[in-house]
Amino acid sequence: MSEKKTPQEQASTTRRKRSYRPIGLLLIIVGSIFCAEALVMFVLSFFPDVSLLEIMFYDAAMLSVLVFPSVYFFVFRPVEAYTCELEQALAEIRILREIIPICAWCKKVRDDKGYWHKVETYISERTDAEFTHGICPECAKKAPSKQRSE
C-alpha cells in the first residue's frame, strides 16, 4: 500500500530531487576536469616528440572542449532551470499575497487608484487566469423560467 503524501511532503520531496548543493557542483566540476586531463594525457602519450609549449596548447584546447560542455550541461543548465522555477514561484506568491478589497454587496474589486472593477476584469489584468461563465444549481433555480428554457 502506498501512502498518500500531503502537498508539503510532495514539495519537500521535489525540493530534494532538485537540490544543487555546492559540494555536488564542485564534485562535478573537479571530476570533469580530472577525467578530461586524464584523457588529454593519454592522447598526448602517443606523441612523444611534442614540445612543452605544444603540450600546453593541446592540453588547454582539449580541456576547453571536454570540460566546458560538461560544466554547462551538469551545472549551469540545472541551476538556471532551478532559478527560473524559483522566479516563477516568487511571482505567483507576489500575486497571491495581495489583499483584495471587494464590495460585500456587488462583488466589485477596488484597484490601487480607487476605481471599482468586476472581479473577472481585475483578476484577468493581473494574472494569466481566464474566466468562463456558467450558472450554479442554486442560481439556476432562482433564474426566471424564460432564461432556463433557452
52 and 110 assigned to the same domain: no
If asked whether residues 20 and 67 sit together in one domain, one would say yes
Domain count, the chain: 2
Check whether 94 has a pLDDT greater than 50: yes
- Residue 145 placed within a domain: no
pLDDT tens digits for 47-57?
Answer: 878 888 888 88
pTM tops 0.75: no
Same domain, 34 and 90: yes
Among 106, 135, 142, CA closest to 122 = 106
Question: Looking at the domain assignment, is residue 17 inside a domain?
Answer: yes
Residue 46 belongs to some domain of the structure: yes
Query: Same structural domain for residues 58 and 126?
Result: no
